[in-house]
Amino acid sequence: MTKFLWGSATASYQCEGAWNEDGRVPSLWDVYLHENQLEDGDVASDFYHHYKEDIRLMKEGGQTSYRFSISWSRVITDKFGTINPKGIAFYQRVIEECLKNDIEPFVTIFHWDLPDYLEKEGGWLNRSTVDAYLNLCRVLFDKFGDKVRLWATFNEPRYYVFSGYFIGNYPPAVHDAQKTAQASYYMMLANAKAIQLYRKMKQTGEIGIVHSYGPIYGVDDSSETKQAMRDADNYYNNWVLDPAILGIFPKDLLEKLISSGIDLSFIQENDSQIFKENTVDFIGLNYYARVIIAPYKEGETVLSVNNSGKSAKGSSKIVVKDWFEQLFDLPDAEYTDWDVEIFPQGLYEGILMVHEKYNIPIYITENGVGVYEDVDHPIEDNYRIEFLNDHIDAILRSKKDGADVRGYYVWSTMDLYSWKNGTEKRYGLVAVDFNNQCSRKPKKSYYWYKKVCDSNGKEIQQNRKYKSKGISTLSLIRGEKDELL
């Protein structure tokens, strides 16, 4: 039986810093943040210079796995595929340090930081980026394949593409449904081709994809709501999960895109066979919140996401014309300052949705809560302990009910640069003093999580506040009704 992995996770741009050291070239995030004079990740958590300390803290904290990503810009320096030996050497050191400390490395190949030299060529709107990505994969499999057992092709393609091409709050900061569909497709094609390459190179580990999972719930059980839920499930989940796991896109999604005016001529005839023959070994689920859906009523598409915290709390609004509306103002619901609902039961039901639909090994590759914290004093983050406890309890209950969940990764290992939210939104088990040479200081949750890891989850207290609210996709699968909102 596979040993359950207890770990934490980071992303290269969010933690490494050293943005122009040892041959690293700019990513689209470097250029976007510098040009717009926004808080950037030039230093971030300075993992590049603190990695030994951070991995030691993981080991001392009982963790058995570390999920991290590769900076494409640190490894491949131009569109011709030139390899940066200093970049390779850095990740070799990180991997070896993990193994020396009995930490299983879980490598994400792409976590949003596309090199700017590729963005200038069209980025994920250009099919040639798929080939550039495959070259990156080939280099990584060749250099690290003998030491890395777990690989993820992409982190959250849905969140990356929708934020960059549909909502427009992340680079390349456009708002275009046609470009959203095209970039989405090319990323999923790259996923399938990377899996094909992994097996052609006879790698001995496992390869999957990490998805930003939003389990779908409806406001009632009317036929209109059920249709809106299906459209939302296609929008948020199925366009990633179905081709990755089943090798095919949902037929009704393609029909809906065409009826919405999307030109799908970028799909080539032989692509379907590539998807069909190259599916994932496992799925990684990043869970932060469920998605509450109501039928679309009127008006144009509205896509507003809170990246400003408490000053903009309650400002999030998502309406996709002729598809659905997402609700953020549920009565009696608990939200963070960034409009993220805290609902652990959604993880339990979400895991079972994936298990019952796909029957595939699952890793919970991100789960955590972002808050404001004062690092000048010992951090008694009981709120984080409660949050993590209740979500781990949801995982343990899902395992008891038959789901094949093989690991859990807290987001995040240490405080990070949190994209447009900057460094004031803190997720880490370990505090980082960004004003004092990025010094590290474990929080109360770090010591609590050590007990959880050491006991293989036996320290978890049962969460008794998990009665579901709303009509969930799981209830529709099972033909059952949940308590209405």
Output the six-digit token pair for 222.
């009317």
Active-site residue 156, yes or no?
yes
Pairing of strands 324-327, 317-320: antiparallel
Distances (CA, A) of 89 to 20, 25, 75, 389: 16, 16, 9, 37
Catalytic-labelled residue, pool 156, 325, 349, 373:
156
Which pLDDT band, with edges at 50, 70 and 90, does 48 fall under? very high
Please say if the pLDDT value at position 183 is more than 60: yes
449, 440 in Cβ contact below 8 A?
Answer: no
Confirm whether 96 is a catalytic residue. no
pLDDT number for residue 475 = 73
HSE (side-chain half, CA atoms, 13 Å) at 223? 0
The pTM for the full model equals 0.96
Could you tell me if 375 and 250 are in contact, meaning their C-beta atoms sit under 8 angstroms apart? no
CA dihedral over 86, 91, 97, 99, signed as positive or negative:
negative
> pLDDT grade, residue 332 (50/70/90)?
confident
Closest to 157 measured CA to CA, from 194, 127, 183: 183
The pLDDT of residue 25 is 98
Q: Render pLDDT for 167-180 as a digit per residue (tens, 0 to 9).
A: 999 999 999 999 99
Q: What is the pLDDT of residue 466?
A: 60
- What is the Cα–Cα distance from 193 to 195, expressed in whole angstroms? 5
Whether residue 85 has pLDDT greater than 80: yes
pLDDT beyond 80 at 283:
yes
Instruction: Order the strands of the 324-327 sheet from edge to edge.
Output: 302-304, 317-320, 324-327, 291-294, 216-218, 471-472
Residue 455 above 90 pLDDT? yes
Instruction: Average the pLDDT over 291-316 and give the result.
Output: 94
Strand 362-366 relative to strand 439-442, pairing: unpaired
Using the predicted structure, report yes or no on whether residue 325 has a pLDDT greater than 60: yes
Among residues 16, 119, 325, 366, the one annotated as catalytic is 366
Digit-coded pLDDT (tens) for 384-396:
999 999 999 999 9
Mean pLDDT for the chain overall:
95
Which pLDDT belongs to residue 52?
98
Render pLDDT for 397-424 as a digit per residue (tens, 0 to 9): 999 999 999 999 999 999 999 999 999 9
Indicate if the pLDDT at residue 469 is higher than 80: no
Query: What does the angle CA 151 – CA 247 – CA 68 come to, to the nearest 5 degrees?
Result: 15
What's the mean pLDDT in 125-134? 98
% of the chain exceeding 70 in pLDDT: 96
155's tokens: 């982190």
Sequence-ordered strand ranges (E) for 125-204: 150-155
Contact between 153 and 208 (Cβ < 8 Å):
yes
Q: Which tens digits make up the pLDDT trace of 187-229?
A: 999 999 999 999 999 999 999 999 999 999 999 999 999 999 9
Kindly tell me the burial class for residue 247, based on how many C-beta atoms sit within 10 Å of its own C-beta (0-12, 13-18, 19 or more).
middle
Residue 240 — very low, low, confident or very high, per pLDDT cuts 50/70/90?
Answer: very high
CA distance 430 to 440: 6
- Amino acid 485: pLDDT: 53
Q: What are phi and psi of 320, to 5 degrees?
A: -110, 110
pLDDT tier at 1, thresholds 50, 70, 90: low
pLDDT at residue 483 is higher than 70: no
Average pLDDT over every residue of 71-77: 98
In this model, does residue 448 exceed pLDDT 70? yes
- The predicted structure's pLDDT at residue 472: 79
Q: With a cut of 90, say whether residue 473 has pLDDT above it.
A: no
pLDDT for residue 474:
75
Q: Supply the pLDDT for residue 464.
A: 67
Whether the predicted pLDDT of 476 surpasses 90: no
